[in-house]
Structure 1
């Protein structure tokens, strides 16, 4: 057990001396030992070390092994001094709090943060040791001829080039060099017709050669955008499996989180989404050499419409050569010297930073020639040269450094080493932590920023928050190409380019350890390791005891793309790893943390996102330095530590954000003490008598981002007003939720919501289960000029809607569960509304009170469970998608001749008849609409490409002349749950590519003409037990490449016996699963 666990409690002493600032003295000879004095001395020592370290680092190229060892020792002293100083600073701050808070009011003391005589001796000896080591190291500087003040020559934070102003240079489509031919080839390949299913274009090349840039140029090409209605971009890490890759594709399409865990379910969902569209899928950074990976991933992609294609980038030649259906293999070579010079020059003289002359041009061309054809190198060096303001001597120095490093034949491009070594010291430190990320790993900006802050790499700035200052540094590293954006999701994500990832590993190789379970690297000096990243695979059992001997580590991070099997953390681990600042255990099956986590005096960051944690140990409340507690998507969490308010340095309390999956967790009292708190994603309101946190405690907390207020029936309008929500200008998304069947008085609820007026900069508002009869006046005010999304749900007493049409930026309006609403009111205004959803409004009768409605930009309309609604008038011609479900009195919707996508569930005969007038329809879904169904009503829809029919219990036959043959453009057809269907014909549907048949229990034969459909690619048949095979004709056409069967005994038997040879020719088959 370490000395922190053996300390004698000082709480009683601190209470008694109250007026002193932890000024406990203990005699050692003739001098007094005072914590603050020693802390100040150590602080001065630590500053000396940092200055010396900065000077050493500014000597950019260190090849002498003795110098490298000297530098490692210097860093080691720096870490030790910082850790000791952090302990002393913590002791002082804790004592101040303890003295101000009598022990009788505390249920738990900071026992591990107090100092007794024995520990004072140890700390005194440690300070002496650090000073002696520093003196020895300082003598080494003279031996190596380092000059003091070298670092002053380099730019300091805040004096860097105007990278924010030149952010436009990230637009790679603005000007390209040397890739026009390749770009044109790839674009033409994408736009051309091909006979093989799912053609693939693969771009292969070395790291940093411009594969992703070329793919992005093509992806954003205007012709490509117009040719592919659906474009998908995913970036895969080198450890990604098929399930994870499929889920990423699904999320990129739907823009929402995918919860499906089974690969079969994921593939069915993906196939469903792709079957109605022509898509372009870009798979950036494909690593998987396993042939089965691509074949499995490819299966659902085959369902896409004709012309769908896949574009792959890879640095793995095996992947490039083994990817099936490749129509254009592009082996991307380096740029020539002239092209490198043009690219380098573009950034070197950006925004007039220096002027080109003959001398600079000559030197610049020499530098460009040493880039070895790498666009990443040329761009990175160009940005570096822009810092010099055109000084010829600096350009020559960089050219000489390039030549020296080229002679060493380093594996990492010399230009990237130079770009790194020329970074100011603070940016070097920040970039070094990127060694923790696996190749291809995507991350959010805030994730990295919080990691930097936890590591103490961001200094306080009176003008900016720590997060804002770190954000500036992040943007600069992005501008310098140490990071790059990823196009795989709607929320902006980033990654470290693969070459930069190698560079980060190189410069941190003594300090960072990336390990895999059962494969612990040997030959590592354990005392030097500060950062550990554990790379885990799916279902891999993880034992953390293997890192117990790395006692100096500051960051412990699980790096995984899938949830890993880690149930618990051994208690002794935290006794060993007393220097930890970041504990990142997200995406694991962790159910609990041991109480020993309270021993981690220096801990700033706990990441438990997507774990199975149910409660946190009480000792978490003693983590005085904790800044971030990430509990997002912890759906089993039921409570927070009772003394959470003692975490006075907490900046971010992330609780799960999926509002429709939240269980109210009471908030402990004292939240108002957390004055540094910026993130508090949810807050459960409780009555004063319940003993939990009160709403008025939010008064002085400057919350940012998202805030959800739960159980508002417990609020009073006085407390609601005291929360001062209207002053929280950085809250962008707000949810106001009452509980189901709450008993709050109607008048009081109206006063509460009136008192909860948010700041006018709000972007999204959700009101749920509000019991009042009227909405507050502020809800429809035009002053909310930023509000884009508004959702009102289950407000069952509300009779009138506010004037939402006055909201100038409102794009999405969702209204549901409003049982007392009879009219939508005056639908005037709505200058920006694109999506309108109405559901569960049993008494809604009138679409609009006036004769006219204004919804000029409405593109999508969803109406569900509005049984008394009779008409919907004056819809815009631009409306593209309409869904109607269980609206029994709705007979027609005139003026929709340009509608493309229509879904009708549980409609009446008149509505079905009206559909025949919609000549522009390309997609139609009819489910459970009437007891009878006449297919001839659809034969006028010649543009129809997708048709789903289901639940028509009286539909018994679809014959050859039923009118189905008139649907010559039909590419997707699904028939389901037509329990009386006995005969079905697909004769004449020569464009049909995807056919699905489900739950038609009386059908005894395959559809007539199925074997003659030359375009048919995908066939799915499920749960048709009486289906028999007639061997006299062609069962399946040769074009079929995807076959799925279940619940069809005779057809399955045919596939295994008589038709086995035919089925073997089908690339993707699933039978009887």
Structure 2
């Protein structure tokens, strides 16, 4: 009786591999056969010189095509015969196909409800507001119903966040109907439809299991209503099940939303629409991430390494197909079975290229080190013998040229020439029709890329300098290209912006420069930016250094920018050097609900800002170089359902020399998340609006303020304030320094030459203040009362060019037990330090440019923590004969003090690190 095998025998697996591998040769040949006619049917204009040339190409092409197809058919038939033979042997051996993977038993997970717990949720306010903004925003898709997923690992609070949003009063007012359904792991369409119907009607449905009747009833209940449906804890990755359930809920009014909580990103992607075709890069990345998470690979100094034991295991499992050879190639003995080979050995044992000729079935060849090119190139014969190569890595500085035979590697997918000294690429490289990745990083001698590179219509990644890539004419043919960091527009054929028309696989970053070369709106619209859904960052740049821009060109630029509307899922936008007087309607449109960052720079004639406050997820906004902007009005904050910059964290306004007014409403919901605000070079701006209490860092420089702004509320979070070069600022009595700033730790007021009055209580109420800098405020005077000006929390004090204030501040330092650093510069009214001496915790002391200072601080020898002291350009200062230096002093630097020189030279022996 014959024994039945349920597993795979090593014999059958190896034999099967030998048979399966040849189709990997056939499929590229099939694809090449399809690509060749396409390339021949659309020749470049400059490639056809005469009718004779066309005729010659035609007959030559026909003969080659016939031969190519005959060879292809013959090899395909041979593979079929090998599969038939394997099938017969499987039958003779009694091998059976495995029964498949057993289904895991699904355990019931606890049900959830929409009712909130009594416990208060902390730390999710920003996420909550952003999610509410997205739910309240208008739809951007062609469907009435939009899906918003909340994705994260278990225990992060996805359901809690969904409950908080579901029960918000704004959500209750906005949606006519709210429904909550706990899905869990068992995605049963009939059950879910019934539970959704029950949630919509607040009635228990009948016991019918007729899916059609239930769906019709649910469809009628939702028809014409704007609803919110929360599907909690979804695990299903089957798009067919989702779409069967979805059929009943698509009849809601436009603006309806489905909020999904899930642990799986694929679930959110599937429920947002039909699952898009996955890129091989995404699949490979997910596999790699999985291996990293399981410690198969380990991160090490920017690389990934493999533990010795794991390496041995991987080498064992890879069998005879993968080899890493370090020296001798002569006695390998597996030439016919090795598919992937990396070669590396010491230079003293280097080998010649002929040693690789015998590996005729190689799919991957990585020449890392140890191969010496005697001629600076690679012989033709290598690539003529290794025709199965799919991956080729030649990262060697001694390689100066490639042979024409590289064009015979029709299966090549990946070619890496990083760091080689190649000066030109052979024209035959344009025959690598299946090439998907070409890496030319650090090829410093390479001056251009062959014109025929655009024949590589399957190319997905081209890594080279922007200079090399910008010299390629006709990029429009590379429709699979996924990376194009910079595109420089020219008026020449092959370099116009229309080259981007069908390049809709571009992702991540795209910078389009020299947009002044776009001649009209039609040409700009043909760039088809709105269809490039994978782009995250887009920069639109005009040349900025042109002195004269005609009126017609201004109008043209306005039309061009209007036509360059990107996809609504763009996350970051930069507009630079634009000469129009107005920005396009799409900037600030609430349909761009994923926009996170906007930079507007050097818009020399722009007079108005768009309603950027209605972008729900905008977090960073930088506006600068707009000399025509006079007023920022309430329209800047938006007027729709979403307004007031609900997610903005950082706002920078700089180089706005004509700005006179910034008007904001007193709405408490304005800028609810703002933490960083920078205002610079706005010399005509006299006042700032009332700022939100969330502000943590405020920078004001070169602004015409007469008073500092106020902060809304009493619980202010301001921790850092820098005020610089405000020539109209005369008093700190009003504004935020007159409020209770219990969180502020750093304060700097510099180059405010008209500033006279300190805050009402000085700085002593700033109970958390650690660093205080006051520089070049010569008119600033102390308060009349005798109370202290400085808080006890201060650790760093820097005073400069404040002659009227210096003596009072130094007198207050006696009570500063935490002061570690003290620096005094350019104070002409300073004659002596306080007799009480300086705080004993002081670690660093600097006195510079105080021309009228007569004596150094008293009791220096008692400052046992002092480690560094610098005295410079104090021409009259002397050392008291009774004073000495603390033994703990490690650094003493004295310069420009002639009366101290002799004394200090005598002290140098005790302080070897000192400099006089």
Shorter-chain TM-score bucket reads: 0.5 to 0.7
Q: 1:774, 1:798 within 8 Å by CA — same for their partners in 2?
A: yes
Q: 1:844, 1:866 within 8 Å by CA — same for their partners in 2?
A: yes
Q: 2:892, 2:911 within 8 Å by CA — same for their partners in 1?
A: no
Q: 1:556, 1:584 within 8 Å by CA — same for their partners in 2?
A: yes
Which of 917, 923, 927 aligns to 2:746? It is: 923
Equivalent position SS for 1:864: strand
Q: Distance in 2 between matches of 1:1004 and 1:511?
A: 85
Match of 1:842 in 2: 657
Give the Å deviation of 1:785: 1.4
Match of 1:874 in 2: 690
Query: In the alignment, does 2:770 pair up with 1:945?
Result: yes
Query: In the alignment, does 2:529 pair up with 1:725?
Result: yes
Which of 302, 308, 314 aligns to 1:504? It is: 314
Structure 1: tracts of 5 or more residues without a match: 1-54, 167-216, 222-349, 354-460, 561-565, 657-661, 1064-1070
Higher relative contact order (Cα pairs below 8 Å, separated by 6+ residues): 1
Q: 1:678, 1:704 within 8 Å by CA — same for their partners in 2?
A: yes
| Distance verdict in 2 for CA 1:746–1:83, change over 3 Å | same
Equivalent position SS for 1:865: strand
Summarize the alignment of residues 687-706 of structure 1 with structure 2, pairs less than 5 Å apart. Answer: 687=491, 690-706=492-508
Give the Å deviation of 1:981: 10
Q: 1:901, 1:924 within 8 Å by CA — same for their partners in 2?
A: yes
Equivalent position SS for 1:675: coil
Match of 2:511 in 1: 708
Match of 2:720 in 1: 901
Match of 1:686 in 2: 490
Which of 84, 92, 109 aligns to 2:33? It is: 92
Match of 1:802 in 2: 610
Match of 2:233 in 1: none
Summarize the alignment of residues 455-470 of structure 1 with structure 2, pairs less than 5 Å apart. Answer: 464-467=277-280, 470=283
Q: Distance in 1 between matches of 2:806 and 2:814?
A: 10
Equivalent position SS for 2:659: coil
Summarize the alignment of residues 279-294 of structure 1 with structure 2, pairs less than 5 Å apart. Answer: none
RMSD of aligned residue pairs (Cα, Å)? 6.6
User: More displaced, 570-579 or 737-746?
Assistant: 570-579
Give the Å deviation of 1:503: 3.6
Query: In the alignment, does 2:287 pair up with 1:474?
Result: yes
| Distance verdict in 2 for CA 1:908–1:1016, change over 3 Å | farther
Which of 560, 572, 577 aligns to 1:752? It is: 560
| Distance verdict in 2 for CA 1:883–1:592, change over 3 Å | farther
Q: Distance in 2 between matches of 1:1022 and 1:1052?
A: 11
Give the Å deviation of 1:837: 0.9
Q: Distance in 2 between matches of 1:611 and 1:1005?
A: 67
Q: Residue by residue, what CA displacement relative to the aligned partner does 1:137-194 show, whole Å, maximum 9, x if unpaired?
A: 9699889x976554x5445xxx99899x99xxxxxxxxxxxxxxxxxxxxxxxxxxxx
Equivalent position SS for 1:778: coil
Match of 1:563 in 2: none
Match of 2:571 in 1: 763
| Distance verdict in 2 for CA 1:833–1:615, change over 3 Å | farther
Match of 2:209 in 1: none
Q: Residue by residue, what CA displacement relative to the aligned partner does 1:400-436 show, whole Å, maximum 9, x if unpaired?
A: xxxxxxxxxxxxxxxxxxxxxxxxxxxxxxxxxxxxx
Equivalent position SS for 2:594: coil
Structure 2: tracts of 5 or more residues without a match: 50-56, 110-152, 158-183, 188-273, 638-643, 777-798
Q: 2:806, 2:827 within 8 Å by CA — same for their partners in 1?
A: no
Summarize the alignment of residues 596-611 of structure 1 with structure 2, pairs less than 5 Å apart. Answer: 598=407, 600-607=409-416
Q: Distance in 1 between matches of 2:41 and 2:847?
A: 72
User: More displaced, 608-617 or 878-887?
Assistant: 608-617
Q: How many correspondences in the alignment?
A: 681
Query: In the alignment, does 2:678 pair up with 1:859?
Result: no
Q: 1:785, 1:807 within 8 Å by CA — same for their partners in 2?
A: yes
Query: In the alignment, does 2:658 pair up with 1:830?
Result: no
Q: 1:77, 1:130 within 8 Å by CA — same for their partners in 2?
A: no
Q: Distance in 2 between matches of 1:1044 and 1:501?
A: 57
Give the Å deviation of 1:133: 13
- Which has the larger share of helix? 1
Q: Distance in 2 between matches of 1:768 and 1:603?
A: 41
| Distance verdict in 2 for CA 1:665–1:139, change over 3 Å | closer
Q: Distance in 1 between matches of 2:830 and 2:45?
A: 78
Q: 1:529, 1:550 within 8 Å by CA — same for their partners in 2?
A: no
Q: Distance in 2 between matches of 1:77 and 1:816?
A: 64
Q: Residue by residue, what CA displacement relative to the aligned partner does 1:37-69 show, whole Å, maximum 9, x if unpaired?
A: xxxxxxxxxxxxxxxxxx999648x6xxxx6xx
Q: 2:748, 2:772 within 8 Å by CA — same for their partners in 1?
A: yes
| Distance verdict in 2 for CA 1:934–1:681, change over 3 Å | same
Equivalent position SS for 1:748: helix
Summarize the alignment of residues 252-331 of structure 1 with structure 2, pairs less than 5 Å apart. Answer: none
Match of 1:431 in 2: none
Q: 2:378, 2:403 within 8 Å by CA — same for their partners in 1?
A: no
Give the Å deviation of 1:699: 2.7
Q: 1:512, 1:532 within 8 Å by CA — same for their partners in 2?
A: yes
Q: Distance in 1 between matches of 2:661 and 2:480?
A: 50
Q: Distance in 2 between matches of 1:848 and 1:464?
A: 48
Q: Residue by residue, what CA displacement relative to the aligned partner does 1:434-485 show, whole Å, maximum 9, x if unpaired?
A: xxxxxxxxxxxxxxxxxxxxxxxxxxx9972443872696389469836689
Q: 2:486, 2:512 within 8 Å by CA — same for their partners in 1?
A: yes
Which of 600, 605, 611 aligns to 1:792? It is: 600
Give the Å deviation of 1:856: 1.8
Q: 2:747, 2:769 within 8 Å by CA — same for their partners in 1?
A: yes
Equivalent position SS for 2:435: coil
TM-score by length of structure 2 reads 0.57
Match of 1:886 in 2: 702
| Distance verdict in 2 for CA 1:954–1:477, change over 3 Å | closer
TM-score by length of structure 1 reads 0.50
| Distance verdict in 2 for CA 1:875–1:131, change over 3 Å | closer
Give the Å deviation of 1:761: 2.0
Give the Å deviation of 1:1023: 11
Equivalent position SS for 1:726: helix
Q: Distance in 2 between matches of 1:593 and 1:148?
A: 52
Summarize the alignment of residues 1045-1060 of structure 1 with structure 2, pairs less than 5 Å apart. Answer: 1059=911
Q: 2:28, 2:434 within 8 Å by CA — same for their partners in 1?
A: no
Which of 627, 632, 640 aligns to 1:819? It is: 627
User: More displaced, 887-896 or 465-474?
Assistant: 465-474
Query: In the alignment, does 2:365 pair up with 1:571?
Result: no
Give the Å deviation of 1:721: 1.4
Q: Residue by residue, what CA displacement relative to the aligned partner does 1:602-648 show, whole Å, maximum 9, x if unpaired?
A: 33234578999998665543332121345689999986543332111
Give the Å deviation of 1:1048: 13
| Distance verdict in 2 for CA 1:1034–1:928, change over 3 Å | same
Between structure 1 and structure 2, the one with the greater Rg is 2
| Distance verdict in 2 for CA 1:1006–1:674, change over 3 Å | farther
